[in-house]
Structure 1
Amino acid sequence: MRLCAFWATALALLASPVGAQDVLVLGEVHDNPAHHAVQAARVAEFAPQALVFEMLTPDQATRVTPELRGDADALAAALDWGGSGWPDFSYYYPIFVAAPQAQVHGAGVPREDTRTVAEQGLGAAFGEGAKIYGLTAPLTETQQSAREALQASAHCDALPPEMLPMMVDIQRLRDATLARATMQALDQTGGPVAVITGNGHARSDWGMPALLARAAPMIEIYTLGQGEDGAVPDGIFDEVIIAPAPERDDPCKAFE
Structure 2
Amino acid sequence: MVVGFFKSCSRTVSNALSSNIRVAARNVRELYLTALVLIVGYVALVVSGCSVTSWKSTLGRNHPLTGRIWDVSSARFIDRQSLVTRLARADFLLLGERHDNPDHHLLQAEVLRSLIALGRRPAVGFEMFGLDDASAIANHLAFAPNDAAGLGRAVNWNKRGWPDWAMYQPIAEVALEAKLRIVATNLPLATARKMSSDGLAALEPRVVGDLGLDRPPSESVFASIAADIRDSHCGYGSEESVKLMVGVQRARDAQMAQSLIAADDPDGAILVAGAGHVRNDYGIPVYLTAKAAGKQVISIAFLEVDNQKPEPDNYALPDPNGRLPFDFVWFTARVDDENPCEKFKSQFEHLKRRSDK
Correspondence for 1:179? 257
SS at match of 1:62: helix
Letter in 2 for 1:221: V
Determine whether 1:80 maps to 2:156: yes
What's the CA shift for 1:120?
Answer: 5.4
Contact map agreement 2:123 2:182 (CA 8 A) in 1: yes
Task: Give 1:242 deviation, angstroms.
Answer: 0.8
**CA distance in structure 1 between the partners assigned to 2:126 and 2:305 by the alignment:** 25
Matches within 5 A, 1:15-94: 20-47=89-116, 48-64=121-137, 65=141, 68=144, 70-94=146-170
Alpha-carbon deviation of 1:197?
0.7
Answer yes or no: is 1:141 the counterpart of 2:219. yes
Aligned 8 A contact 2:148 2:172 in 1: no
Whole-Å separation in 2 of the counterparts to 1:129 and 1:80: 26
Shift of 1:181: 0.6
The higher-RCO structure (CA 8 Å, 6+ apart) is 1
Three-state SS of the structure 1 residue aligned to 2:89 is: coil
Q: Scaled by the length of structure 2, what TM-score is found? A: 0.60
Q: Is the 8 A contact 1:126 1:173 kept in 2?
A: no
For 2:173 and 2:295, the matched residues in 1 are separated by 26
Name which of structure 1's ranges 129-138 and 141-150 shifts more when overlaid on structure 2: 129-138
Match of 1:110 in 2: 188
What fraction of aligned residue pairs are identical, expressed as a percent? 31
Give the 3-state SS of the residue equivalent to 1:134 in structure 2: coil
Shift of 1:98: 1.2
Q: Give the Cα separation in 1 of the matches to 2:150 and 2:250.
A: 33
Alignment: residue pair count: 236
Distance 1:45 1:62, change over 3 A: farther
Between structures 1 and 2, the one with greater helix share? 2
Letter in 2 for 1:212: L
Gaps of 5+ in 2: 1-87, 310-314, 350-357
CA contact (8 A) 1:28 1:198 kept: yes
Unaligned runs of 5+ in 1: 1-18
- Structure 1 or 2, whichever has the larger Rg, is 2
Separation (CA, whole Å) in 2 of partners of 1:44 and 1:217: 27
User: Superposition RMSD on alpha carbons, in Å?
Assistant: 2.4
Return closer, same or farther for 1:91/1:119 CA change in 2, 3 Å cut-off: closer
Higher mean C-alpha deviation, range 233-242 or range 74-83: 233-242
CA deviation map 1:60-95 (0-9, x unaligned) = 233330654544543222121111111111110010
Aligned counterparts of 1:84 and 1:75: Cα–Cα separation in 2? 14
1:126–1:153 distance in 2 versus 1, CA, 3 Å? farther
